[in-house]
Chains A and B, each alone.
Chain A
């Protein structure tokens, strides 16, 4: 610096400099400690999960691993025609599951939106519990549960999808309802309408596009989910995947994955256009 400073300025600056260095060093130490803990946890986890638990002998060299990965390269084209029916099944399971989910959502949303919940101290926590339970349990676990309850087949898949969807749809819908403009609600109430009428005439028109958007979004995700529920006996593409895997038809496995990807792509395209037309 070419600026000229008086001696007292210099002293003040030196002091500031020293305290600054100390501060930066302190924050560095804290950051390093933080990273160190993170790293130690990683090392420990790697030791337990990867190094100890892996059968390195059986896995063999890198070449062997690459070779077994290479088995999946290639597509069994002959399998595609027979994939059509399971693919449609998957799509139907996803759609019906979503619809059933929406039906279950109705009470959950009604109870879960603070501004319309009927008995706040009871129904609100109940709805929240429903949403949390639904969202926090993996679809495979739900499917296992329903397979045990209603037996193998599409039914279990539909139930699993429905129950799994409730949480997200209800949460988003309830939040949408909580954010509505209270003006129309008051206006309708002022005409002497009952609660149901208020919901239908004042609340639904405001939130319907948003809720439909959420449902479509969830439907898209449900296609992805229903494609694998066959793995635990709920029908659709997952079942074919399972069979191909068990008969060691690796190219067939790739075919099924390609089919799933195609299905998801279709879902994405459809949802894109539907959402566009809503908004």
Chain B
């Protein structure tokens, strides 16, 4: 059974606005590194935010491990979000906090409110965070403030924070768009490597087709909220790409 099934998903920004997603369906399997490509404004970000309901879908179903995400109450939603790590285009780190605290914030879903006020995380959490920071190559920057780091380093903190959740699925929202090409490749490679190591499937929306072709095993193409392509990377070709990106020329 696929870990994530999306069925006939429809989303809007405002109640009366136009549909951003027009009945999109797809499946993510346990070992997928799944790419969503398409021109900007195609609804990629909205789609990925519907999975953990940072954007509320209008209709359709999303099954995560067989459970319909769209029907969860707020408590169930929190525990779902805890199981889904997310990495953002603009990193979304807490600039004025240390790298360590940023990584530990990935544990908030597991930590009581009082403990989180005093930043009193469990020792095992701190150990885990340290190991992750070592793994992403930031062991020497643990005490630095997040805004002292370079873009690539900041995204590595973002990766560590997402993995801190012990996620069963990773959502990547344009993880490399804010980085230069060389760093982009390194970061993508790191994500892929760690996802394989921890056996976490990834759903990645990505603007750069070359990166998608290089790192992902499955691709769906979105154009103006409609799914134009769905299949393994090998089936993607120039002609289909042109079709997906046709709108962008206009």
Residues of A within 8 A of B (CB): 1-3, 5, 9, 12-13, 16-17, 20-21, 23-24, 28
Q: Which 10 A-B pairs have the closest CB atoms?
A: A1-B131, A17-B130, A3-B135, A17-B127, A13-B134, A16-B130, A13-B130, A20-B142, A1-B128, A16-B139
Point out the residues of chain A lying under 8 angstroms from B100, CB to CB: 20, 24
- Closest partner residue, chain B, to A4 (CB atom): B197
| A17 with B126: CB separation less than 8 A | yes
Taking the complex as formed, is B76 at the interface, i.e. its CB lies under 8 A from any CB of chain A? Answer: no
Task: Decide if B182 is an interface residue (CB 8 Å cutoff).
Answer: no
Interface residues of B in 90-144 (CB under 8 A from A): 100, 118-120, 123, 126-128, 130-132, 134-135, 139, 142-143
Expressed in whole angstroms, the Cα–Cα distance for A183 and B120 within the complex equals 57
For the complex, what is the distance from the CA of A5 to the CA of B198, rounded to whole Å?
15
Bound-complex Cα distance A142 to B62 (A) = 67
Q: What CA separation (Å) do A13 and B131 show in the bound complex?
A: 7
Name 27 A/B residue pairs within 8 A (Cβ), A-sorted.
Answer: A1-B128, A1-B131, A1-B135, A2-B198, A3-B131, A3-B135, A3-B197, A5-B131, A9-B134, A12-B139, A13-B130, A13-B131, A13-B134, A16-B130, A16-B134, A16-B139, A16-B142, A17-B127, A17-B130, A20-B130, A20-B143, A21-B123, A21-B126, A24-B100, A24-B119, A24-B126, A28-B118
Nearest CB in chain B: distance from A229 CB, A: 44
* Best-surrounded residue of A3, A21, A23 (most CB of chain B within 10 A): A3
- A100 CB to nearest chain B CB (Å): 45
What separation, in Å, do the CA atoms of A13 and B130 have in the docked complex?
A: 8
Which A residues are in CB contact (< 8 Å) with B128? 1
Interfacial chain B residues near A9, Cβ < 8 Å: 134
Most A CB within 10 A of own CB, among B126, B128, B130:
B130
Chain A minimum-CB-distance residue to B143: A23
Question: What are the residues of chain B within 8 A of A16 when measuring CB–CB?
Answer: 130, 134, 139, 142
Chain A residues lying within 8 Å of B118, measured Cβ to Cβ, are: 28
For residue B156, give the distance in angstroms from its CB to the closest CB of chain A: 15
Report whether A2 and B197 are in contact in the complex, using a CB–CB cutoff of 8 Å: yes
